[in-house]
Amino acid sequence: MAKAAITVGRRAPEFALPDQDGKPVKLSRLAGRWVVLYFYPKDDTPGCTTEACEFTDGIRAFEGLDVVVLGCSADTPESHRKFIAKHGLKVALLSDADRSVMKTYGAWGEKTMYGRTSMGVIRSTVVIDPNGVVAHHWPNVKAAGHAEKVRAKLAELRGDAA
């Protein structure tokens, strides 16, 4: 597995990636808001669909906590648009075609599945506070049920009732 290049309590690395509409999303432009940045392997695959749909199902709760939820994979903006349309997703999806942000955030590296070792996306999530500091990091995530764990952690971090 890749060693996470981020540390809780330290400034989150800046990024600027195109969203599903090709519009640039920069972390620095989200200052003052909580950000959930989750990394996933591929649009419209079973685990990735589960995770994106669960974040979408809980989007009102995230918005109520003033949280921006961003999914990130190496898929193209066009692929993201199709994924969003097919499943009615309400989260923005970022395209990291060269995997540079994934590498910076420790979400790209060696992983083992079914006894085979390969390079790939490590499903992981980072919570960034309004000051741009890493507030929490899940370095290896199981898709099902993860969105609710993130929401509960955000409520805890913000001092709200879970």
Instruction: Give the catalytic positions in this structure.
Output: 48
Q: What letter does residue 22 receive in the DSSP assignment?
A: S
What single letter denotes the amino acid at residue 44?
A: D
How far apart CA 137 and CA 119 sit, in angstroms, is 21
- Cα–Cα distance for residue pair 138/123, rounded to 1 Å: 9
Tell me whether strands 124-128 and 134-138 are parallel, antiparallel or unpaired: antiparallel
Nearest to 121 by CA among 139, 136, 102: 102
Structural contact between residues 47 and 143, judged by C-beta atoms closer than 8 angstroms: yes
